[in-house]
Amino acid sequence: MSLYDTKDQVVLVDSADTDLGTMEKMEAHQKGLMHRAVSILIFNTKGEWLLHQRAQEKYHAGGLWTNACCTHPYLGESYESAAERRMMEEMGMKIDRERLVHLFDFTYKVELDNGLTEHEYDRVFAYLTDAEPMPNAEEVMAWKHLRHEALVAEITSQPERYTPWFRIIFEKTLPHLDKVRASSSEKH
């Protein structure tokens, strides 16, 4: 089976990221089964976060703000390759997987707005670029750069405007912001 034969599949895993097989994406979300995911945080050289607002038509969390990009790796696809692929598909941005900074992995389970459950083993990467996105309108309805302080204020005052996974990622990223800054000075 090739990578492209599995694009509507997710890779089921346990809490140690052990591959347990694949399942059709919607079925996995209906059953709330843990599967692999990738989240990419994009920062510019001013230290601003790149956020996007999910297209209203997305199968869940439509219209909510979130990190630059998320995806499910295909069977046999590395986390880094999935990040590189999806940044182009979703945000129209070419990234160099060698410059991805792995921040952390975590698991979470949240019930979504339409009877689906997101239960993911999520690998979170940061990436520094001043490139502007050219998003796919089927995926993204708006985007913006936001200073850290402004993002803290927005998430605190209006958490319902953000995806549940991004609110978790945001909190977990705070102790890693120095790692992001250090990697940007090493690579530029």
Tens-digit pLDDT profile for the chain (188 aa)? 444 455 789 999 999 999 999 999 999 999 999 999 999 999 999 999 999 999 877 777 778 999 999 999 999 999 999 999 999 999 999 999 999 999 999 999 999 878 899 999 999 999 999 999 999 999 999 999 999 999 999 999 999 999 999 999 999 998 887 777 666 555 54
Cα(177)–Cα(42) distance, rounded to whole angstroms? Answer: 12
Write down the pLDDT at residue 22.
96
Write down the pLDDT at residue 63.
87
Write down the pLDDT at residue 175.
84
Quick check: helix, strand or coil at residue 101? strand
What CA–CA distances, in Å, run from 57 to 63, 84, 117, 156?
8, 24, 17, 26
Check 69, 70, 80, 118 and give the catalytic one: 70
Cα(60)–Cα(117) distance, rounded to whole angstroms? Answer: 10
Active-site residue, 48 included? no
CB of 39 within 8 A of CB of 165?
Answer: yes
Domain residue limits, the chain: 6-177
Write down the pLDDT at residue 48.
94
Write down the pLDDT at residue 76.
93
CB of 21 within 8 A of CB of 35?
Answer: no
Superfamily of domain 6-177: Nucleoside Triphosphate Pyrophosphohydrolase (3.90.79.10)
Active-site residue, 90 included? no
Check 80, 90, 118, 120 and give the catalytic one: 120
Write down the pLDDT at residue 5.
52
Write down the pLDDT at residue 2.
43
Residue 50 DSSP label: E
